[in-house]
Amino acid sequence: MRIHDGAFYAASLFLLGIAAASLGVSFPVVVAAWAVLAGIFAFSPNLIFIKPHSRVVLVSLSFIFLLGWVYFNLFYIAKEEVLPAGDAVFRGVVIEEPLHGERSQEILLRLSDPYAGEVRVYAPRYPEFHYGNLMSAEGEVRKSPSGALNISGFPQIKLVAEDGGSAVKLALLKFKNSFLENIKRVLPDEEAALAGGLTVGERASFSDEFKDAMAKSGTTHIVALSGYNISIIGFAISFLLAAFVSRGKAFYISVLVIILFVIMTGAEASVVRAAIMGILVLFAERTGRLYSMRNALVLAAFVMALVNPKVLVFNVGFQLSFGALLGIVYLKPAIEKIFRLGDGVGFLGWKANALTSLSAQLAVLPVLLYNFGSINLLSVVANVLILEILPFAMALGFAAGFTGFISYQLSLFTGLLTRPLLLWQIWVISFFGRISIPLAWDNFPPFLGAVYYLLIVALIVWSRRAPEPWEPRPLASRLPLS
């Protein structure tokens, strides 16, 4: 077995063990599942294509499934929470830039002694709090309905001290705010808000009506930073440095800039995933090695689960980010092959965009229904109308923000080029937000989601075994029946 294949199976089994622990599967059941798994690897005739020495390796690797279960439980024993009971006074440091809405703000606190853990505090819009603030609150802390978060709703809060966070992160947030101010100087409010969302994932300036329209039109993902943003940053830095430093130094500087960008934008699940995969793309380009999407996805999930094991089951953003990408990578080719749709991208890329959006939506359908209760059946159409110009809007948005540090006139010119693209996207979002056709299903059963994904996997496997549409059929199949 090749090393990268062994790493793929090891990481996958580790994630499977973490998932089992996250779902509350007991250790005896996990051991029994491991025994079945090891038996399949060792004796199943359906795995006849696996060589004997590879079977030994797979059986050995199956122990990592148990390790994943153990790791999840040890991680949270080591990070045991001590939460306030009832109405109590507690202090904490703001460890992420708060989400400022029109009427409220969402603040993530790391509790100070005598308590331990993290609490998500919902507070009035003013006074504003920021990353690094030390604040005091009086109120009740309770578990969220899912049990994954500790929350406190509108306690009495006050500022105790400022600038208590990392100096690096404070500097990065200051740079991000200056970048956003550059955009606001050259674009009207609504367009500037969308440009900030497309470039650095900033959604604080969105109105409640616009957020609702994005949710109903199925276009919220366009402001969830993706691999495209990361690729623009990585390759732009490498290109700019190529004339001054060696390729090796340009690579390391690009990786450093990507890491700083992730920290600056809040390190959401989709951004971290995109950053890890973007770095792997840069590494593959530098070394001339083939880039494996399969290995990159599993490695990204493995690293994120290693840092925070709860992300696998309890973070909806993680599930949507990875699910959508898996749909594009594996389900899209299957749909193209089965329905023989691989004959071009269509006018202005409509066919490619429709297939991309449909594949992503189908891949995350159970997640959306389980967590939100509905989806918009017209979201594919809305995405077709947006996706083709999205890369240009992102690139010009970045240009408008960065040129603002050099010249206001240059930034204004770039902003004028960006504005028609932003206005079109805003119109599409608003229009499909008003005419959405929802598919609603309250209390979507998880077992039905499991059946759904088994069918998806079976469809993908079957499509890979089926002949290509252009392959000639055997002569006997083309002869008329007598």
**Which residue blocks in 288-407 are alpha helix, DSSP H?**
293-307, 311-314, 316-326, 332-338, 350-372, 379-387, 390-403
Instruction: Judge contact between 27 and 69, C-beta under 8 A.
Output: yes
Q: Cα–Cα distance between 434 and 327 in angstroms, integer?
A: 27
**Residue 97, domain CATH:** 2.40.50.140
Kindly report whether the peptide bond that precedes residue 84 is cis, defined as omega within 30 degrees of 0: no
Do 115 and 213 lie in a common domain?
no
pLDDT for position 124: 92
Dihedral sign for Cα 195, 198, 204, 206, please: positive
Structural domain including 38 reads 3-78
Helix 316-326 and helix 269-287, axial crossing angle in degrees, nearest 10: 40
Do 67 and 123 lie in a common domain?
no
Q: Cα–Cα distance between 89 and 135 in angstroms, integer?
A: 11
Do 10 and 126 lie in a common domain?
no
Q: Cα–Cα distance between 438 and 216 in angstroms, integer?
A: 8
- pLDDT mean by block of 10 residues, the chain; 482 residues: 74 89 87 80 58 64 85 84 87 88 87 89 90 91 81 91 82 89 94 91 85 86 70 72 76 83 76 77 67 78 87 82 83 82 56 79 87 82 84 88 93 94 94 84 86 90 68 44 36
For the chain, what is the domain count? 3
pLDDT for position 180: 93
Do 310 and 430 lie in a common domain?
yes
Do 132 and 72 lie in a common domain?
no
Do 384 and 443 lie in a common domain?
yes
Among residues 78, 110, 125, the one where a domain terminates is: 78
Do 50 and 191 lie in a common domain?
no
Instruction: Judge contact between 292 and 300, C-beta under 8 A.
Output: no
Do 137 and 116 lie in a common domain?
yes
**How distant, in Å, are the alpha carbons of 75, 268, 337 from that of 166?**
24, 18, 50
State which amino acid sits at residue 475. Answer: L
User: What is the DSSP secondary structure assignment for residue 310, as one 8-state letter?
Assistant: T
Do 201 and 55 lie in a common domain?
no
Tokens at residue 352, please?
């490619």
pTM beyond 0.95: the answer is no
Kindly report whether the peptide bond that precedes residue 114 is cis, defined as omega within 30 degrees of 0: yes
Tally: H helices and E strands in the chain: 20, 10
Do 52 and 201 lie in a common domain?
no
- Say if strands 142-143 and 150-153 run parallel, antiparallel, or are unpaired: antiparallel
Beta bridge partners of 123: 105
pLDDT for position 479: 39
Answer yes or no: is 16 within a domain.
yes
Do 408 and 445 lie in a common domain?
yes
